[in-house]
Structure 1
Amino acid sequence: MAGRPTLLRQPPDDPNKAPIENALEVTEMAVLGPNIFTNARQLWQPPGARGIYGGAVIAMCLAAAQRTVAPDFLVHSCHCYFLLAGAADLPILFHVEQVRDGRSFATRTVQARQRGRCIFTTTISFVRDSSSAEDADTAVTHASELPRDSDGNPLRPPPEDYDDEPDLLAQGPFQGAKIEVVDTCGSGKPGNKKTRQWMRARGKIAGGVPAHLEALAYVSDSYFIGTITRIHKLWRFPFPAAEYDNLPDELREKVRTLHEWEGMGTDPREMVGRPTIGMMVSLDHTIYFHAPKKVAADDWMFTEMSSPWAGDGRGVVMQKIFSKDGTLLATCVQEGLVRLQAPKPEGKEAKL
């Protein structure tokens, strides 16, 4: 099936849905067996990546699982493992196993498969909506607050008519503001730094709560393990920083735009001499949905990421996702393989 990215003919985009809804559409394949789904459209492979964008696989596994539970069950956690790089030119089959259906909780496992091999697996837990109703006498509640600015005021989202995103980054189903790297302790230590960004889905999501949750799952993987490169100020492009001035004008401008947009500074030449990332791959990904019915992924959401630890060739990043009114919508954790590029032997020049 090489060169055929979907099992069925790709349908035209539905103009009544947001771009993210069209991108994440799954189709049930009852002819193959119960609870088997496939992607309706070709999946995106980021430039330079080993495989397809992981957030899409997470979201489509959630989409398939949500199709197998009652409407009054809402997802509260996903525990995921990336096993193999997914190919963009092959269809994916999502096999959903109904592990448990209780009165208050339901559990599903989903395997994403290509060529008969499992490339991704997740266990997803759902809770009945009524079972989470808070009783003032018995509930234990607290939540992290939306961060504040230097004057002590809650951070404010971009305007509704925001259009300052560079053309280079304005093609996907989500739009975002520039990433900011902050050091609230002023220590300069990577473990004390945080990255912050506002983001939202383009258009208006029409599919109700399930579609908003799938959209949040999709965007939760954006810039996630890459937080390690930002807080350590590591060079990530496939050529030495010292070669920046020798690039063609158009490519040099793209590099400068990406470098600044990701909170790394305005001049890539400042990275000369900094360590270079050699390999960075997500290993696992967990999402805890705290307020699923309040998720409005087509409205501004604020994400803050930090890393409590990196070592032994791996790194852990934690993420909080807030609505613009300050509600903590989700907490995410990701571990990834993080290795620096080995120094080149003396006397050997790098080639573009």
Structure 2
Amino acid sequence: MTNPAERLVDLLDLEQIEVNIFRGRSPQESLQRVFGGQVAGQALVAAGRTTDCERPVHSLHAYFLRPGIPGVPIVYQVERIRDGRSFTTRRVTAVQQGRTIFNLTASFHKPEEGGFEHQLPPAREVPDPESLPTVAQEVKEHLGALPETLERMARRQPFDIRYADPLRWTAEDIKGAEPRSAVWMRAVSPLGDDPLVHTCALTYASDMTLLDAVRLPIEPLWGPRGFDMASLDHAMWFHRPFRADEWFLYDQESPIAVGGRGLARGRIYDRHGRLLVSVVQEGLFRRLQP
């Protein structure tokens, strides 16, 4: 299996080992810890597998408790908190080598008519994704060639990511930079027609660039890193149906960074400016020792 999007769908296809217990793969990679979006996406799959398929998820709230170990399977234990007439609630605990590394609470809502509707428009207009270079193209243009490590990452990347603003490489580039970032994203190939797969794939993607907004005033996103960072918690609200293999705009901002923690908010829109998903995350930032 060489297609990165197919590998993502396979990664989200958990093995059921008991009524409310699932096991997920954790690929052996050179990362220090398992990617948080992977754990969140798999946990949401586990929750969704125990609910009525007619009720899509409308929100999730999660905490990253310990770093996951790459290459070691993760067991997801689902607690069926409530099955009501309109809402279903699930709590998921992710366990690796006998230790809890992550927990998630997800709520599912039976579709209904609300009688009213409104939303804020995107904060700014950005170029269409087709007019923007890929990250690999920007890196290659800046460096003259794509480093081997980035080339391997690009081949494994399940999402096409295109920054609405030019990449920042030096301290000069970030002078006066606001804590805001916007990217277009979509899966690199079709993900099938299961709505839960699209929801969990977007959950995976939502953790990929959100903390960029915190870093922008501190250091160049694509230069030498001066800080180690880790996701602490993650919350999402799903407003409208969507497909993660169609272009969506991820508009991100950081209202505050203080005490070694940075808060980031994201709004995900479709190409027509309809708000699909709202995201909030806090990350831990610690200066790397020279």
How would you bin the TM-score normalised by the shorter chain?
0.7 to 0.9
- 1:124-145 deviation digits (Å, cap 9, x = unpaired): 011012x3x232xxx3x22121
Q: CA deviation at 1:340?
A: 2.5
What code does the residue aligned with 1:194 have? Answer: R
Q: Show the counterpart of 2:10.
A: 22
Which of the residues 274, 278, 289 maps onto 2:227?
Answer: 278
Where 2:203 maps in the other structure, the secondary structure is helix
* 4+ residue segments displaced more than 4 Å: none
Which of the residues 213, 221, 229 maps onto 1:227?
Answer: 213
- 1:230-271 deviation digits (Å, cap 9, x = unpaired): 233x157xxxxxxxxxxxxxxxxxxxxxx2xxxxxxxx5xx8
Length, aligned pairs only: 268
Say if 2:229 and 2:283, in contact at 8 Å, map to a contact too: yes
Q: Show the counterpart of 1:324.
A: 271
Unmatched 5+ stretches in structure 1 = 1-12, 183-187, 237-258, 260-267, 345-352
Q: CA deviation at 1:189?
A: 5.7
Which of the residues 303, 317, 320 maps onto 2:250?
Answer: 303
Where 2:156 maps in the other structure, the secondary structure is coil
Where 2:243 maps in the other structure, the secondary structure is coil
**Shift in alpha-carbon separation, 1:25–1:159, aligned structure 2, 3 A:** farther
Q: Whole-Å Cα distance in 1 between the matches of residues 136 and 12 of structure 2? A: 23
Q: CA deviation at 1:60?
A: 0.6
Q: Show the counterpart of 1:248.
A: none
The structure richer in strand per residue is 2
- 1:203-229 deviation digits (Å, cap 9, x = unpaired): 111142111101110100002223322
Q: Whole-Å Cα distance in 2 between the matches of residues 21 and 170 of structure 1? A: 16
Paired residues for 1:1-352 under 5 Å? 13=1, 18-30=6-18, 34-39=19-24, 41-43=25-27, 45=29, 47=30, 49-129=31-111, 131=112, 133-135=113-115, 139=116, 141-149=117-125, 155-158=127-130, 165-166=136-137, 168=151, 169-178=154-163, 180=165, 192-232=178-218, 234=219, 259=222, 277-291=226-240, 293=241, 295-341=242-288
Q: Whole-Å Cα distance in 1 between the matches of residues 12 and 200 of structure 2? A: 8
Say if 1:157 and 1:324, in contact at 8 Å, map to a contact too: no
Q: Whole-Å Cα distance in 2 between the matches of residues 51 and 60 of structure 1? A: 16
Say if 1:19 and 1:203, in contact at 8 Å, map to a contact too: no
Unmatched 5+ stretches in structure 2 = 138-145, 168-174
TM score, norm. by length of structure 2? 0.83
Where 2:107 maps in the other structure, the secondary structure is strand
Say if 2:181 and 2:212, in contact at 8 Å, map to a contact too: no
Larger Rg: 1
Q: Show the counterpart of 2:142.
A: none
- 1:169-225 deviation digits (Å, cap 9, x = unpaired): 24211111135279xxxxx766x4310111101111114211110111010000222
What code does the residue aligned with 1:126 have? Answer: F
Q: Whole-Å Cα distance in 1 between the matches of residues 45 and 86 of structure 2? A: 20
Say if 2:179 and 2:215, in contact at 8 Å, map to a contact too: no
**Shift in alpha-carbon separation, 1:170–1:159, aligned structure 2, 3 A:** farther
Q: Whole-Å Cα distance in 1 between the matches of residues 280 and 26 of structure 2? A: 27
Q: Whole-Å Cα distance in 1 between the matches of residues 274 and 67 of structure 2? A: 34
Q: Show the counterpart of 2:143.
A: none
What code does the residue aligned with 2:272 have? Answer: D
Identity %: 31
**Shift in alpha-carbon separation, 1:315–1:119, aligned structure 2, 3 A:** same
